[in-house]
Amino acid sequence: MSISTSKILVPVGFSEQSMIALAQACSLAKIKQSEVVLLSVIEEPSMMESLFYDDKSHELQQKVNQKLIQIAGSYIEKYGIEIDTMVAKGKIYEQINEVASMIGADLIIMGTTGSSNIGVRKLMGSNVEKVVRLTKCPVITIKGKNNRLGCKNIILPLDLAKETKEKVTYAIEYARYWDATVRIVSVVLKDNSEVRNKLSRNIKQVEDFIKEAGVKCTAELVEGEEKQTLGAFVLEYEKNFDADLVMIMTKKEELALSNNLSVTARYIINNSDIPVMSIRPKQRKHITRPTTAF
């Protein structure tokens, strides 16, 4: 997709978090020269509600569209970018994915109310998780409220899976937008020397590749503890750099033909206070061996 046709889809539910996501989207769109598409989804009433209540969905749809146009106008004036608006009816996650496919979106940016204090189910039962695991384009989810516009440090966790390198090109692309530094990190248990050697070669190769592309980059292999999950490690590591973005793959290799998320991806999306870019790996016909997904 060329820059001239780049489109960023922003689902808007008029919450504070969705407005934070919109500001981030507009800031990035100005750099990418992308068009922003605002989408609000009106959930269809149940059969019982349709039988006993007047259907005023058309009237609601008009009011929502007017509100979107008003919001779009203020952001157009502020950022000097193109913003279109859409209102759809149906299941929220289905409409987001359908519209993303229809307009050829190369990125979705959306706010989430996930919270580490109330467990995983808060987000995993929501539309956000379904969008992340079903959409084909990358999705940036934003939970925290204190994110700065732009980006200085991108955390890029790597393991030995082939799929994990697919996000390297995205890291280079987005680091160039902001002149950011890519921070590669891999974790290995203390007693696994074979994996340590493979990871060392792997991250060195990726570091060299990123630097040759003219992007600032660091790489670090850190010893982890068995009791600490990979997701928890990544979120702890990003604090060392006051990072602005974590890039992850959404699945393990053995899940490449399913619509499930890896445990690590789910944990990071739920608990990260900085934006998370989730990238769906390309489907592979032949699965070689199980891997640990970042």
Q: How many CA atoms lie within 13 A of 66 on its CB side?
A: 6
Residue type (1 letter), 237: Y
What are the backbone dihedrals phi and psi of residue 234, each rounded to the nearest 5 degrees, phi first? -60, -45
Helix (H) or strand (E) holding 95: helix 92-103
Nearest alpha-carbon partner for 228 in 187, 200, 191, 286? 187
Extract the tokens encoding 209. 């590749």
Q: Which residues of the chain have pLDDT under 70?
A: 1-4, 45-57, 113-125, 162-163, 226-227, 251-260, 283-294
- Cα–Cα distance, 122 to 113 (Å, whole number): 8
Q: What is the pLDDT of residue 117?
A: 39
Extract the tokens encoding 259. 């619509």
Q: 7, 33 in Cβ contact below 8 A?
A: no
Q: What is the pLDDT of residue 156?
A: 95
Helix (H) or strand (E) holding 86: strand 83-89
Q: How far is CA 54 from the centre of its chain?
A: 38
Give helix 263-271 / helix 230-238 axis angle, nearest 10°: 40
Q: How far is CA 27 from the centre of its chain?
A: 16
- Cα–Cα distance, 231 to 293 (Å, whole number): 10
Q: What is the pLDDT of residue 45?
A: 63
Residue type (1 letter), 213: A
Extract the tokens encoding 194. 């074979």
Q: What is the pLDDT of residues 71-98, one digit of tens each?
A: 999 999 999 999 999 999 989 999 999 9
Extract the tokens encoding 20. 């934070």
* Alpha-carbon distances, residue 1 vs 80, 106, 121, 245 (angstroms): 22, 8, 35, 23
What are the backbone dihedrals phi and psi of residue 91, each rounded to the nearest 5 degrees, phi first? -75, 135
Q: What is the pLDDT of residue 46?
A: 55
Give helix 127-134 / helix 263-271 axis angle, nearest 10°: 130
Extract the tokens encoding 283. 């489907």
pTM: predicted TM-score of the whole model, two decimal places: 0.85
- State the CB neighbour count (10 A cutoff) for residue 291: 20
